[in-house]
C-alpha cells in the first residue's frame, strides 16, 4: 500500500535581473536527509503551528474563501491557512526572505538571528513576529501547482507550489543547516547548469524552471504561472516496459487519468531528466 503523502509547501520567488527574470534557488545541505545536494525552491513540511489563526490576521491579506478557491481543494480553513503560512515560514528559515507587510532592516536582522530557534521549534513564528510587530503578507503568495510524490517511493509529499515576487530590500541567505547556498539564476541558466552536471534537480523543479523560461519580467512570469486557475494535482506514474525510466504526467496518453498530447513526460537519460512529447 502506498505511503500517505505529507502536506508541504514551497515558494518560487522571482525578481527582475539584467538578463530577465531570476528565480531563487537554494542548495539542500549535503548532510540533509532528503534531496541532499539538490538545488530546490525554498520549502518544506507543514507544521501544526502553521495553522495558528493569529498568523493570518485580516491585515495579512489572507482570506480563507479566496485561499480555498485559489487552491481548488476540499480543505478546511485551518489547512489552507497552514499551507500559506508554511510557505512563508520555510522561505524565511531556508533563505532568509520574510514576506511581511512592513519591516525595517534592524528588525529583519534581529529576526534572522532567531532562524535557528525557529527551525528547532524552540521559538514560535508567532512569538518572533509579535516581538517585532510584523504581519505576514500572505496575499503575496499565489498557488500555481501541486505535485504529489509517485506512489512507488517510500517517503511521499503532497507539495503546493506558490509563486511570489521577491520582497524589496532583502538579501537571500542560506541558513547553513538545511541549505548550503542561496543564489539567483535565470531559469535557463539553472537548466543549463543542471544539464552540465553542476547541480541536481528533482522533476517538479525541472518542470517549473521550463515553464519560467521566455518571460521578459518577473511580473509576467508570476502572472503566467497563476493564470491557469486552481492547480491540478500532478501525480507522476512510471511508464511500464520503457527501456529507461520514464515518468508520465496528467495529459499523457499513457497516464491513468486519460490521453492527450504535449510535453507530458520526463525521461531519465544519462542521469539527467529530459522533457519528451506525448504524441497522439
Sequence-distant (≥ 6) Cβ neighbours of residue 175 within 8 angstroms: 93, 94, 95, 96, 115, 116, 119
Percent of the chain at pLDDT > 70 equals 94
Point out which residues pair with 16 in neighbouring strands. Answer: 21
| Half-sphere exposure of residue 277: CA atoms within 13 angstroms, side-chain side | 4
Instruction: Examine the pLDDT at 33 and tell me if it is beyond 70.
Output: no
State whether residue 70 is helix, strand or coil: helix
Q: What is the mean pLDDT of residues 209-235?
A: 92
6-230 is classed CATH 3.90.79.10: yes
Statement: residue 89 has pLDDT above 90:
yes
Which residues, 6 or more positions from 240, have their beta carbon under 8 angstroms from its beta carbon?
A: none
Quickly state the pLDDT bin for 21 (edges 50, 70, 90).
very high
Using DSSP, state whether 265 is helix, strand or coil: strand
Question: Model-level pTM?
Answer: 0.93
pLDDT at residue 36 in the model: 67
Cβ 26 vs Cβ 41: under 8 Å: yes
Task: Write phi, then psi, for 38 (nearest 5 degrees).
Answer: -80, 150
Give the C-alpha separation, 151 to 2, whole Å: 5
Q: Assign 195 a pLDDT band (cuts: 50, 70, 90).
A: very high
Answer with the residue of higher pLDDT: 263 or 14.
14
Asked if residue 262 has pLDDT above 60, the reply is: no
Residue 278 confidence (pLDDT): 67
What are the boundaries of each domain within the chain? 6-230, 236-280
Res 43: pLDDT: 95
Instruction: Provide the pLDDT confidence category of residue 85 given band limits of 50, 70 and 90.
Output: very high
Residue 151 has a pLDDT of 93
Three cell numbers, residue 67: 485561499
How deeply is 247 buried, as exposed, middle or buried, from its count of CB atoms within 10 A (0-12, 13-18, 19+)? buried
Beta-carbon-side half-sphere exposure of residue 220 (alpha carbons within 13 Å): 8
Residue-wise pLDDT tens digits, 196-211: 999 999 999 999 999 9
pLDDT at 280 over 60: no
- The span from the CA of 170 to the CA of 241, in Å, is 49
Of 111, 89, 101, whose CA–CA distance to 139 is shortest?
101
Whole-angstrom distance, CA of residue 73 vs CA of residue 68: 7
Mean pLDDT of 92-101: 94
Q: What is the mean pLDDT of the chain?
A: 91
5, 157 Cβ separation under 8 angstroms: yes
User: Helix, strand, coil shares of the chain as percentages rounded to 5?
Assistant: 30, 30, 40
Q: Note the pLDDT tens digit of each residue in 119-148.
A: 888 999 999 999 999 999 999 999 999 999
**Pairwise pLDDT comparison (34 vs 269), residue with the higher score:** 269
- 169 by Cβ neighbours in 10 Å (0-12 / 13-18 / 19+) ranks as exposed
What would the pLDDT profile of 237-256 be if each residue is shown by its tens digit? Answer: 998 888 999 999 888 888 88
Could you give the CA distance from residue 270 to residue 108 in angstroms, rounded to a whole number? 44
pLDDT over threshold 70, residue 31:
no
Q: Choose the most confident range, by mean pLDDT, from 20-29, 78-87, 117-126.
A: 78-87
143-173 pLDDT, tens digit each: 999 999 999 999 999 999 999 999 998 999 9
Amino acid at each position: 500500500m502506498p505511503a500517505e503523502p505529507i502536506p508541504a509547501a514551497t515558494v518560487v520567488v522571482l525578481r527582475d535581473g539584467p538578463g530577465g527574470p531570476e528565480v531563487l534557488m537554494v542548495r539542500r545541505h549535503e548532510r540533509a536527509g532528503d534531496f541532499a545536494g539538490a538545488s530546490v525552491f525554498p520549502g518544506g513540511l507543514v507544521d501544526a503551528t502553521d495553522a495558528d489563526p493569529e498568523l493570518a490576521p485580516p491585515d495579512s491579506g489572507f482570506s480563507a474563501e479566496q485561499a480555498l478557491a485559489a487552491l481548488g481543494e476540499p480543505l478546511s480553513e485551518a489547512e489552507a491557512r497552514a499551507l500559506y503560512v508554511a510557505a512563508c515560514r520555510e522561505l524565511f528559515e531556508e533563505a532568509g526572505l520574510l514576506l511581511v507587510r512592513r519591516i525595517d532592516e534592524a528588525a529583519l536582522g534581529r529576526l534572522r538571528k532567531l532562524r535557528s530557534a525557529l527551525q528547532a521549534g524552540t521559538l514560535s513564528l508567532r512569538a518572533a513576529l509579535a516581538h517585532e510587530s510584523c504581519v505576514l503578507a500572505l496575499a503575496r503568495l499565489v498557488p500555481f501547482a501541486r505535485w504529489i510524490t509517485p506512489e512507488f517511493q517510500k517517503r511521499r509529499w503532497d507539495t503546493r507550489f506558490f509563486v511570489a515576487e521577491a520582497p524589496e530590500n532583502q538579501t537571500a541567505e542560506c541558513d547553513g543547516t538545511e541549505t548550503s547556498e542561496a543564489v539567483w539564476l535565470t531559469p535557463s541558466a539553472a537548466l543549463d547548469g543542471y544539464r552540465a552536471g553542476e547541480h541536481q534537480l528533482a522533476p517538479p523543479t525541472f518542470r517549473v524552471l521550463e515553464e519560467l523560461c521566455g518571460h521578459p519580467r518577473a511580473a509576467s512570469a508570476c502572472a503566467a504561472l497563476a493564470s491557469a486557475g486552481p492547480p491540478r494535482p500532478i501525480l507522476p506514474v512510471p511508464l511500464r516496459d520503457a527501456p529507461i525510466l520514464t515518468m508520465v504526467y496528467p495529459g499523457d496518453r499513457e497516464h491513468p487519468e486519460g490521453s492527450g498530447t504535449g510535453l507530458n513526460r520526463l525521461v531519465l537519460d544519462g542521469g539527467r531528466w529530459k522533457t519528451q512529447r506525448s504524441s497522439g
